[in-house]
Structure 1
Amino acid sequence: MSRCSDSYEGIRCPVSANHLPSDADPIAAQVLAFGAAHGVDAVSPDQTWELLERTGVPHPGLEFAAWTDTMAFGGLLGPVIVNSPDVRTLVEDLCRFHPMFDRDRIVVARRPTGVSVSVLSAEGGPSHPDTVDAVFALLCRTVRRLAGHQAAPSEVRFRRPTPGDAGVYDALFGRVVFAAPGDVCFFGETALSAPIVQADPVVRSMLWPYAERRATHREVSWAAAVGKLLADGGAELTDVARALAVSTRTLQSRLEAEGTSFAALADSVRRERALGMIAMPDLPVTVIAARLGFATPSAFTRAFRRWTGMSPSRYRQQPDAP
């Protein structure tokens, strides 16, 4: 994800709407697994929340945070934050190294009496209420487990209206304000200074360079990520979207923002594979057509003529054909 500012004042961790990790977001994948465990077949976190609510699961985001654990952060982030010296560093690490659900992002900013943690969509607007619940609950459970109850937030604000069982939120977060202008979790200086007693600075110093390297190089375009999955054998839009932990609609809009489409990328990958196979003179055109998923050899021939301006057999006869 994008690197945090070197200065602590107004730390920002924006993630471009047109970029995503090279691997599917681990928390988003965990949300889909959580939905599957409840009999919900979804293709994105937002859809998972909606389907879970329809099936009668109360507060799906809070339930998810109780169901998963720190390792849901994925990769090196779990071990890094567990070995942070204090809560302040833990929050900074979370901001620095982790993209959130379905390209939602976490934003940490300094306040006169501490820091605020917010969750925003990739476009900068409000995130799904259950995504906010899940992020805040997972963060609060993590800091309490690692640093004790003195690490509890001083106040948590939610945009959602006051639920009928608001006590569930009070028990988890402490002071809670509903129907607020934004979703914000505040940590005071006492909480931020709380030490993580079992932290191992040696382990942290060993893991940090690798985590930093991953953070620096993890961003790729959506088109590149889709192209890689297609080249690895993905074929259908729904399959690729599921692998990237987003909905098909979200994936299509991200690709459109980059000036391309799933169909264009799939066609390009198919073309490259076709050219590679046609270079094998002993491989029949009928076999190539079947391997590329064409219904008939004639359909493959039409596509090949569109790509190269000539038929497969004619292309093979060219002296400079690759």
Structure 2
Amino acid sequence: MPPRTSSPAARTPFAFVQSVMTAYTRRGMDAADALEKAQIAPDAQGRWPARVSSLQFERLCAAAMQELDDEALGWFSRPLPWGSYGMLARASISAPNLRVALRRWCRHHGLLTRDVVLTLDERGDANGTASVTVHEQRDMGPLREFALISLLRNVHGLSCWLVDSHIPLRAAEFPVPRPPHADVYGPLFPGPVRFGEPPRAALRFDVAYLDLPLRRDDAALAQMLRRALPIMVLPYRRDRLLALRVGQLLRHDPAHGTESLAAALSLSPRTLQRQLAAEGTSLQALKDEARRERAIELLQRSQRPIKQVALAAGFRNEKSFIRAFRGWTGLAPGDVRRAGPARAGQHADPVPDTGRDDGAVAGSN
């Protein structure tokens, strides 16, 4: 019978529950006890719920991992005994930064199984993109989708937890057809999700996150491992590189406004402002910095008229630009052009944030 309709709070698709049940079937075991612990059951007509809550699924996985003594839940040719992924986390916790931690995770995962090989590629591209890729060495059959989503969600969730930062994804790629429950991927993988075409499952993100230091210790790890599944499911909110990313967007287009920046970062305008304040800065201060850098670069490296420099730096007119530029540097734009880099750098501190944007292009606040 088709699955019955579930409550609004139930977001985990039954397909994932079915994968756990398949792991039991492959081992010749009954999943009834684990399903009962998770309070997952068919209705009187024998219909299973279309979706279950995250807490129900957490309880199901916890029971299944212990009963099957397999933290991989049947994905691989041999079980990964209870505590395997905890061992990988302990091997990574002493790393100085996320780069080393992920290298260790990928290398040590190969000691547990060769059915998949995880690699960290930080060579990047023109956009400075790093990636963690899953190279499949065997056919995982009907458990393939659940295995790939779990492997990458584990990597992403643990990475965010280790550096105590939301790590937005430039892409999450899955070499499987778009499933009927594709809507659950968005909350699990914050960024564009692609199905079908990519040859391998992979996460792609800004390479700068690899330089973040780890902010957890052994005591925090021990506490987390007592209930690890939530960090693999619930997205982090704090982004320790948010100011850097906003600055990059503003340098590319100084006329960006709050709405367009928030949309580009998959945040609400209110959340963007609040998280920047938590980092000790503001959108106005970052705008001033980006405009100042752009203006000084154009003054020193081009012969554009001052009016054109003002427009390129995000100002409506030359007068407002000159006023702001004097506040930033203590000099007039023409003085900086004549003096060259040395003198411009002497007064390059941004003005304090006033909450105003005098003379900026319309819509840039």
Band the TM-score falls in, shorter-chain normalisation: 0.3 to 0.5
Q: Please report the TM-score for the alignment, with normalisation by the length of structure 1.
A: 0.44
Q: TM-score, normalised by structure 2?
A: 0.40
Tell which has more relative contact order, 1 or 2 (C-alpha 8 A, sep 6+). 1
Which structure has the bigger radius of gyration? 2
